[in-house]
Amino acid sequence: MAAPLGRNIGGYNGETIDINDMLQSAITAAKAHGWSIERFPNAGNLPLYGFRRLAKKPRLTIYISTGIHGDEPGGPLAMLELLEDNDWPSDISIFACPCLNPTGFTNNTRENENHTDLNRDYRHIKSIETLAHTAWINQLPTFDLGICLHEDWEAKGFYLYELNPDNLPAVSAEVVEAVGAVCAIDQSNLIDDRPAQGGILKPVVSPDARPLWPEAFYIVLHKTRLSYTLESPSDFPIATRVQALCTAVRTLIDLHLAKR
């Protein structure tokens, strides 16, 4: 199995992507497979898109987003691979956001071009990106689960956050096991200053728990009661990271569908 590259010293120093090329490829793949493509309302000049693929009688409705941090290319690349493979079960509906922070990718920065960490902007929303994204989300139906694709330059392996305030049946352990076949798992007891066990973090979701909300808090408080934030280790080879994220998404969908 791939080992860390030792490149990320003080930040992400791996491959970057041309986000406009990536978005064009994602749009092309989605259109070819029958998705509808929408620009977010009031997005100005920013290339902010939501894709939807609706099943006639969905057994599962999911939301997948990525690219909220511009120094985490593995997420958009994994989304592109999933769109191009088009290997989704036929009876699920999917809402997908292929890149929530395009200017961050242009600059290879976590924040957008105005130095805002968009993934802390979902409580007292100020940025154009988050205003446009939430305007799009607000008119969607509810989802059975949400999935946010991220990377962590400091991680020793893959890990995930499960937001599950009602203790619904969840599959985090199974996802980590599946990803473990293709990528190292971060077994630290403390990840991102939060207690972790076997690559799984289960933060408390209450509006008061954090002054600044990430995207996952917003969707759990408005559109779903179960969300997974997937974190691939960005000091590893890009192919490993993309494979880790794709494996996690496919496992989540398959196992939640099996519970229906």
Q: Does 120 bind Zn ion (CB under 5 A)?
A: no
Minimum CB distance to Zn ion, residue 141 (Å) = 26
Closer by beta carbon to Zn ion, 69 or else 223 = 69
Of 182, 192, 233, 234, the C-alpha closest to 17 is: 234
Q: Could you identify the residue written with the tokens 């494979």?
A: 243
Q: What is the closest distance, in whole angstroms, from the C-beta atom of residue 30 to Zn ion in the complex?
A: 23
Question: Considering only CA atoms, which of 71, 82, 75, 67 is closest in space to residue 7?
Answer: 71
Window 49-78: contact mask with Zn ion (x via CB under 5 A): --------------------x--x------
Shortest distance in whole angstroms from residue 174 CB to Zn ion: 23
Q: Are 213 and 134 in contact (CB under 8 A)?
A: no
Q: Which is nearer to Zn ion, 58 or 233 (CB)?
A: 233
| Contact mark string toward Zn ion, 148..187, x via CB under 5 A | --x-------------------------------------
Spell out the SS3 assignment of 22-63: HHHHHHHHHHHCCCEEEECCCCCCCCCEEEEECCCCCCEEEE
Shortest Å distance, C-beta 70 to Zn ion = 9
* Distance in Å, CB of 165 to Zn ion, minimum: 21
Alpha-carbon distance of 76 to 65, in angstroms, equals 9
Ordered alpha helix ranges (H), the chain: 19-32, 74-85, 102-107, 128-138, 172-179, 215-222, 238-258
- 72 vs 162, beta carbon nearer Zn ion: 72
Residues that bind Zn ion (CB under 5 A): 69, 72, 150
